[in-house]
Structure 1
């Protein structure tokens, strides 16, 4: 078992960030810089893609492996007797939910932003099948077609005519975090259904304001009900953390520390 990959910035209580997609933390520097005024921000890189492993072989991912890696990151960074704040988005939010299920004793408060655990929905079986179709479109028609099909699934609309394309070579796939996500993360992670019921640590489920009427907003609302968790809206859509970094960091800080915190 290799050592987990992570970066640390800032001072204060530990806040573990688990990125989405294939776990590559690209684009997160503005939000981690803002959060570092209040937290010791630990950014977890599950596949080590930002730590020299982009281009190396990747197999189908398991939620449990990501959350076990997150626990080992906390073992290495969390002072004895303290508990951590955790934020996960998209696939990272699913890892955060599994971490909460199996290692709640290390956690204080988890915010899960738009986790694609669509199995919690009344039509969850159909939605899981839609994500499997996304993966198949990617495998047969390439990255642009797979991305277009996934956008249609997330927006709960017909895909229309997909872009023409060819399957990526293995070398091309291993060089692209988005391709790795479609090839090895989306399928197994959207099959994950978190255990229902309250935890010893607090859970807040989040969705973006621009995601209203979309699949993952509906999923977040349903998950908050089944988990007896708080529900909060964040700026932007599914990628709001990248598109509205300052506002996102401010609201995340308020969610964790209360309304008296200042950005």
Structure 2
């Protein structure tokens, strides 16, 4: 199994195809499997790298962790992977959901190693005008998790995020009886270490503006327009004076419509 040792973790990754590096960052599940089908359709054009983010699935933690700066560490992992897999050329990066927040932070901290960063529906509530109201709803979900467990928390989360059928199916897979062997640990780690701090992260807009030529914002045609992750990209587009690219399907459309997604990604990445 390909692995990369980084400070505090050992990252598991997989490679498909040949060409410029195209790195995919997973969202709340943290696990690379969600990109498996998309990678098969992109590998004719790119070297597609997928990986388990640190602490998820096969990417084990090693020693002490700096959880106060976990997002920054996640972004540093992205840069280390790119330097390992493509030492001479910058990479294309795609991040979905929480992984989109990681992608933004990677652009801020390591703009030199990226060519284009595609940010798909980040749950970045810190940029929303009604931040405090939405934050209260997010905290309520977390309180339900602490008091009643994962299943009722995910039910409330699906309602809060106005999840479509695709995302609802993904959330249902968080049930250990439905998901794979890493499901239980992954969802617990996400809820404990990521669910609250990533959406409320104070993104450095001034640095983003400096690098906005490398940034592409993706929203999906099937995502509810009032969903917090859809709205966050709308705000980013307005504040950064960028266009929003529309992708097929819903919040995890790349897992359900991989061929259509791959075709569109090739258009907007190579065409840019």
Q: Same fold (TM over 0.5)?
A: yes
For residue 224 of structure 1, report the CA deviation from its aligned partner: 1.5
Q: Which residue of 1 aligns with 2:35?
A: 28
Mapped to 1, the partners of 2:224 and 2:157 lie a distance apart of: 17
| Worse-matched range after superposition: 106-115 or 134-143 | 134-143
Q: Which residue of 2 aligns with 1:138?
A: 145
Return closer, same or farther for 1:51/1:243 CA change in 2, 3 Å cut-off.
same
* 2:81 is the alignment partner of 1:66: no
Kept in 1, the 8 Å contact 2:92–2:116? The answer is yes
Q: Which residue of 2 aligns with 1:17?
A: 24
Within 5 Å, give how 1:246-257 maps onto structure 2: 246-257=259-270
| Worse-matched range after superposition: 197-206 or 127-136 | 197-206
For residue 76 of structure 1, report the CA deviation from its aligned partner: 0.4
Within 5 Å, give how 1:54-133 maps onto structure 2: 62-80=70-88, 82-133=89-140
Q: Which runs of 5+ in 1 are unaligned?
A: 157-167
Q: Deviations over 1:134-167 (max 9, x none)?
A: 11111111111111111121129xxxxxxxxxxx
For residue 58 of structure 1, report the CA deviation from its aligned partner: 9.2
Aligned mate of 1:199, from 207, 210, 227: 210
Aligned residues: 243
| SS of structure 2 residue aligned to 1:205 | strand
Q: Which residue of 2 aligns with 1:235?
A: 248
* 2:228 is the alignment partner of 1:215: yes
Mapped to 1, the partners of 2:34 and 2:199 lie a distance apart of: 23
Kept in 1, the 8 Å contact 2:19–2:45? The answer is yes
Mapped to 1, the partners of 2:92 and 2:34 lie a distance apart of: 21
For residue 49 of structure 1, report the CA deviation from its aligned partner: 3.3
Mapped to 2, the partners of 1:173 and 1:37 lie a distance apart of: 30
Return closer, same or farther for 1:173/1:247 CA change in 2, 3 Å cut-off.
closer
Q: Deviations over 1:80-109 (max 9, x none)?
A: 2x2111100001000000000111111111
Return closer, same or farther for 1:132/1:62 CA change in 2, 3 Å cut-off.
farther
Return closer, same or farther for 1:116/1:211 CA change in 2, 3 Å cut-off.
same
Q: Deviations over 1:28-56 (max 9, x none)?
A: 211011111111111132126342749xx
For residue 4 of structure 1, report the CA deviation from its aligned partner: 3.0
Return closer, same or farther for 1:249/1:123 CA change in 2, 3 Å cut-off.
same
Kept in 1, the 8 Å contact 2:10–2:54? The answer is no
Return closer, same or farther for 1:23/1:52 CA change in 2, 3 Å cut-off.
closer
Q: Which residue of 2 aligns with 1:163?
A: none
Q: Which runs of 5+ in 2 are unaligned?
A: 1-6, 164-175
Within 5 Å, give how 1:115-194 maps onto structure 2: 115-155=122-162, 175-194=184-203
Return closer, same or farther for 1:212/1:145 CA change in 2, 3 Å cut-off.
same
Mapped to 2, the partners of 1:100 and 1:70 lie a distance apart of: 10
| SS of structure 2 residue aligned to 1:28 | helix
